[in-house]
A and B are shown apart, each in its own frame.
Chain A
Amino acid sequence: MSMNAKALSGGFAQPVFDAQAVFRLLMDGMSRPGTHQTVGTEIGQPSPLGEAAGAIALALCDADTPVWLQSSFAKSAVADWIAFHTGAAATQDKSEAKFAFKQAGAGLCSFDLFSLGTQEYPDRSTTIIIEVAAIGEGRSLVLSGPGIKDSATIKVTGLPEYFEEIWRGNRALFPRGVDVILTAGRTLVCLPRTTTIA
């Protein structure tokens, strides 16, 4: 398939109901950090974008939300696909982005360059979607905070060791800070800024 055809194909089969279903996964995930949510619909996203990451873009992005994409997506049809299906503008400026799509394999750095919100408007911060190798196997992370009864454990493969350090820095900024959604294929796990990783 040519690059153009890849960008134009796919999307939600039933935009209204699929968007609602994906949003409910995100709402359940954000309100219960650490729970696995599974995207149920085929969306025909171009690789290397994952199914869950693509579904998040379709459900939440539009002309009001500048999107930042990691450079590893540059040689693919991902940018064109998101632009065509959501109407969201791509931005190079991390601090302008409402949503950012990353691949953990390509290395993570501090979240400081993304929008962290202000003390007055902490909601004006970037939501970062990080694709990892696998969720449900690998290194254990113990989570606690609002939405979690006592504690929750998630297993993630492909997240660098220093993620905890970056996350601690993000947690310390509260109420400012970014919110993270980890994705692996169809699975997603939310890490709102309130979550502490032990």
Chain B
Amino acid sequence: MSLEVPSDQGLATYNFAYLDEQTKRMIRRAILKAIAIPGYQVPFASREMPMPYGWGTGGVQVTASIIGPKDVLKVIDQGADDTTNAVSIRAFFQKVASVAVTTHTKDATVIQTRHRIPEQTLSEGQVLVYQVPIPEPLRFLEPRETETRKMHALEEYGLMHVKLYEDIAHNGRISKTYAYPVKVAGRYVMDPSPTPKFDNPKMHMSDALQLFGAGREKRIYAIPPHTEVVSLDFEDHPFEIQRFDKPCALCGAEDVYLDEVILDDRGGRMFVCSDTDHCEERRDQGHAGELLARQEAAE
């Protein structure tokens, strides 16, 4: 494979992976500091990207700064490889970095994700890049950046525990189901981005490096591999993940995160794996859920 960026369109081609080298160096320095201080949000000079804020500009900048010609990229949006956001970001990197892409979790070296962690356990040598809308877990409790920064500095997280306690007082349980706050390596409270809390246990002692990029808010943070990630809770209200009554309607998988799909206008619906690659792989192996089995019987 040639390392040269195709230049047949003349001088007006982009640098490898879109960003200029000085920007990459700046982001790379931020990533190294983020890894050295797990869970701490490193400010960085986020650039305008050729996509709107909220579409993953932070994740794209992190991916562009770490990716090389030998990498294999997978992009998922809410677990799916075939949704608009995932397809367009994947096409973007194929165009500006000519990297190999895949939908198979196990084949990827870099996985950019919006709001899910793949069901398959990630391995050493893989990097998970999260797109983050609001990196500050305390932001909705304290709007002033000067104050939240001081709270992190003093490790003063009482406000977060009060919020979780109020949840219990109002609802009888902690009602937060996504972006559930975690404590990283016993020090920083961190927002895991709006992943369902179902995915929180996967962050704990993962073999893979996890990087978080927030483009609009201009923050990068990280969880190194083999690092303690604890979801905040109380002794009498321990952290629990969502449970589903039925397995996936297509592949029959249990213990996975399911999406609801409306089938008709008479209340028909099914629950299927949100991780499309995981679901397809299981169906290829011959697993069949309730709906798939019924369809095959009809044929």
Contact = CB atoms under 8 A, between A and B. Distances in A.
Contact of A65 (B29, B30, B69): B29
Given A30-B36, A31-B35, A147-B225, A174 B187 contact: yes
Interface of A (DSSP majority class): loop
Nearest to A23: B28
A1 interface: no
Contact of B185 (A21, A30, A32, A146): A146
Contact of A193 (B22, B37, B149): B37
B3 A24 contact: no
A60 B29 contact: yes
B164 interface: no
B230 interface: no
B289 interface: no
B262 to A, nearest CB: 42
A183 interface: no
B75 to A, nearest CB: 19
B66 A64 contact: no
B15 interface: yes
Nearest to B125: A28
A119 B154 contact: yes
Nearest to A192: B36
Counting chain B residues whose Cβ lies within 8 A of the other chain, the interface size class is: 35 or more
Given A120-B149, A123-B33, A175-B187, A31 B40 contact: no
B170 interface: no
B73 interface: no
A75 interface: no
Interface in B20-56: 21-22, 24-26, 28-38, 40, 42-43
A193 B153 contact: no
A194 B35 CA distance: 9
Interface of B: 3, 5, 15-16, 21-22, 24-26, 28-38, 40, 42-43, 65-69, 149-150, 152-154, 185, 187-188, 209, 222, 224-228
Given A31-B35, A32-B225, 10 more contacts: A20-B16, A26-B32, A27-B32, A31-B222, A59-B25, A60-B29, A60-B32, A64-B26, A123-B43, A194-B185
